[in-house]
Every structure is written in structure tokens, then in C-alpha cells.
Amino acid sequence: MMKTGIVWFRSNCRLYDNPALMQACEECDNVICVYIFDEIQDTEEFNLVSLGPHRQRFIQESLSDLNHQLQIRGNGLIILRGRADQHLFKIASYFDDVILYSQSMPGWYEQQQENKINERITCVFSPVATLIDFEKLPFLLKDLPGSFTAFRKKVEKQLVTSKSTNIPEKIPRLKPFEATPYSIDQPSRKTDKRCALKFHGGVTAATKRVEEYIWSTHCLAHYKKTRNQLIGANYSSKFSAWLAQGCLSPQLVYQEVKRYEEEVVSNESTYWLIFELLWRDYFYLSAVKHGAALFKAGGIKKIGYRGSQDQIRFKKWCNGMTGVPFIDANMRELKQTGFMSNRGRQNVASYLIHELALDWRLGARWFEHWLIDYDAASNYGNWNYLAGNGHDPRSQRHFNIEKQAAMYDPEGQFQALWLEP
């Protein structure tokens, strides 16, 4: 009997370092590759859907690139829209011997969805792409350290990275197979002229960005010194968008940094980029451990948190109309480009939580809608952290916005750039 593998692409839009795809190609006679725009992305929460225009465009570009790479190897990508479980059940019903291969996601909804699918289809879920091999952690998930520093000290001593996988030379395809694909048009690219880096989705663009940031400009060598700047393409790596959609694997970033350290220089900046990848892993582990609590008002600490949901104050924050120039400039950059610096994110979050006394979940949802680099674990983990509901050993992170503006935008150039008419 012919064995058919369904490879369900999620936040792993690449062929290399994709254990789900590799295993399907090794074990199955036929492989069907599918991506599903899940209807949960269209569900409103706090009057906002999850998937905003910037990330949608980026995903569409990523899928176009992925489809091209699959076609080169004799396959192709079926793109669908609706309830992921129903689409997968329907595809599986055409075959007698079928296995679903995909990556496990850290979000609570995604975890529930995976459990439901696993009840009706034989599934093999690989861990989401992380730097660390979670099967070789020096502790159990339930014993995850309560602070990032404690976590880092434990894993850095004997860092075991996830195993890399090659690109399958050929991906067997079943013909004929009928499915009604969701029409995916090439999105228009109306990029704000003030945007320093035009994020383009896909492995091709991700590879180009790694080459540019690490090797062509050698900006990696100065990362720790420049990472808190606000203007320009290269003050930070900006790998996060490609990492979030899986167009770039953390293993590849790690390998390139290590190669740079061997061939060019090893310093505090090269270490710091790996340090940031460890933060990403920590938030992922925390999301899996704490489940739905990550998304609730009391956060993972389950404290009695009450923030206002006043829409007038919230809309002023959203639209960059608070009257505080540093906050407004950052919020306008986000809405126009889908990106905001790490320094900006911390400040606008602190302002929403402490100055406006709003429910942190409003801000988290706004970020979820607008950020190109949104991923559930990092976004909600960071908002928990800043609201005092997360892994911060301090009770809260309350920024002095005026002081922050003077420190990081002393000449007011960033504010002038984004507050111009």
C-alpha cells in the first residue's frame, strides 16, 4: 500500500532545517505540501483580527518563494483558507494510509488544535525551530527556571543546538490530487519612504539579509553597541520577521555567527546575537509550560491584574496621538511599516501599562495585528514581562519616557522623521 504524507507548513516556510518535511520524504511514497490560512486569524478580539496587512503580505511573499522551491524539486504548495482541522481531515480522507507531518506550535489555541487533529489522523509533530535541542535540556519543562538569567546559565554551560537537516533533493508528489486552493495574489508593495529596510518574505530574502548583515557590512561586529538605535537598516539584525515565519532557522543564524567568530572576530556583539536567540527559546518554553495563562490578564503569574479597556485612550495610543512625541513616533512607525525597534516596543508598552493604565492585552493584540515579526510566544511573553505578570524578577518595568527619549533620540531625529506631516 502506498503511504501518503501530508506536510502541513506553519511557521516553518523553508525546505532546509525542516524535520517534518525531511521525515515525510524519507517515509512516504507521496507527499502533499499544504499551508492553511486558519480562520482563527480572522476572529476579532478587542475589535482586532490577528493577521494584519504587513504580516499578511510578508506571509504571501514567503509562500510564493516556498512554492517556487518546491516546484524546482517536483512538488508544489497547496494554499487553503478556513479551519485547518477540517481541511486536513478532508485531505486525509482521500487516502487509506496517511500521516500528517508538521511542527508543533507554542500557542494555546494551536496546541488544542493539534490535539484535536491527532485524534483523527496519525500525526508526527516536530518541535518548533529553536536554537536549543529541547530534548537535551538539563531540566524538565515543569522545572523551567523562573528567570531568563537562571535559564541562560543552565543551558549555556553545555549548549546543545537542534540538529540541522538538509534540503530533500526530490519531494515525491501524488498525481492527480484535486484540491481547491485559496487564490493568493502577489501583494502590492506600498512601502513608506521612511522605512529603512523593506522586509520581503521568503527564504531567498532571508538568506540575502543574513549575508548582508553579517558578511557584507560586518554590522554583526558592532551589534551590542548599536542595537538600541532607532533609525537605519543595520543598527540591529532585523532577522526576527524571517525567524517568525520560518524563512530563516535559528540554527543557520547560530552557524553563521560561529563561522564569523572563527574567520573574523569573536566579541561581545557576536555573543549578544546568540544571547537574543536564547531569549526566543526561553519564551517558547514558557509558552508551552504555561499554556492559556500566557494570554490571560493575570499572565503566567496568575495575579489579580486589572487594567482599563478605555477605547479613547487606547485609540490615541494606537494611532500615535498621545501627545508624547517619542511614543507617537514609534507607534506611527509600527502602523506604517509593520516594524518597531526593541527600544521602542519597551517604551510604548510601558506607557500603555503604567501611564495610560490600560489592559496590557490590548497592546499585545495591537502588536499581534501590526507586527511583521509577530510570534505568539515572544510577543505575549514580552508583554507579560513588562506588565509584571511574567518572568521579570522585578515587580514591573516602568520606563521614564522623557529620559528614554533624551538618551536614545537626543537630537530628536527619530521623532522628527515619523512625526512629519
Q: Which CATH superfamily is domain 296-419 in?
A: DNA Cyclobutane Dipyrimidine Photolyase, subunit A, domain 3 (1.10.579.10)
Q: What pLDDT is attached to residue 128?
A: 81
Q: How far apart are CA 207 and CA 264, in angstroms?
A: 19
Residues 6+ apart with CB under 8 A from 389: 298, 299, 300, 301, 303, 305, 360
* 62-66 mean pLDDT: 96
For residue 147, pLDDT over 80 is answered with yes
What pLDDT is recorded for position 135? 85
Q: In what order do the strands lie in the sheet with 30-38?
A: 77-82, 30-38, 4-9, 98-103, 123-126
Residue 176 reports pLDDT greater than 80 = no
pLDDT over 70 at 178, yes or no: no
pLDDT of residue 413: 98
Query: Which of 268-272, 298-302, 391-395 is modeled with the greatest confidence?
Result: 268-272
Average confidence (pLDDT) over 20-43: 93
Annotate 293-325 with b (16+ C-beta within 10 A) or e (fewer).
bbbbbebbbeeebebeeeeebbebbbebebebb
Query: Which pLDDT score, from 0 to 100, does residue 169 have?
Result: 83
- Domain 4-128 is found in CATH 3.40.50.620: yes
Per the model's pLDDT, the better-predicted residue between 12 and 129 turns out to be 12
Instruction: Write 317-323 long-range contacts (CB < 8 A, 24+).
Output: 317/348, 317/351, 317/352, 317/356, 317/358, 317/363, 318/366, 320/418, 320/419, 322/351, 322/356
DSSP 8-state assignment for residue 161: B
Whether residue 302 has pLDDT greater than 70:
yes
Residue among 135, 137, 98, 96 nearest 117 (CA): 98
> Does residue 325 have a cis bond before it (omega within 30 degrees)?
no
Structure confidence by residue, pLDDT tens digits, 393-402: 666 679 999 9
What value does the mean pLDDT take over residues 151-180?
79
pLDDT at 186 > cutoff 80? no
- CA–CA dist 7, 22 (Å, integer): 10
Contact predicate 331/319, CB 8 Å: yes
* pLDDT (0 to 100) of residue 185: 59
Alpha carbons 229 and 313: distance in angstroms, whole number:
28
3-state secondary structure of 30: strand
Give the pLDDT confidence score for residue 390 in this predicted structure.
81
Q: Give the confidence band of 214 by pLDDT, cuts at 50, 70, 90.
A: very high
φ, ψ of residue 122 to 5 degrees: the values are: -70, 125
Give span(s): CATH 1.25.40.80, the chain: 203-291
In the predicted model, is pLDDT for residue 181 greater than 60?
A: no
Indicate the fold that domain 203-291 takes in CATH.
Answer: 1.25.40
pLDDT at 339 over 80: yes
Q: What is the pTM of this model?
A: 0.94
pLDDT of residue 303: 83
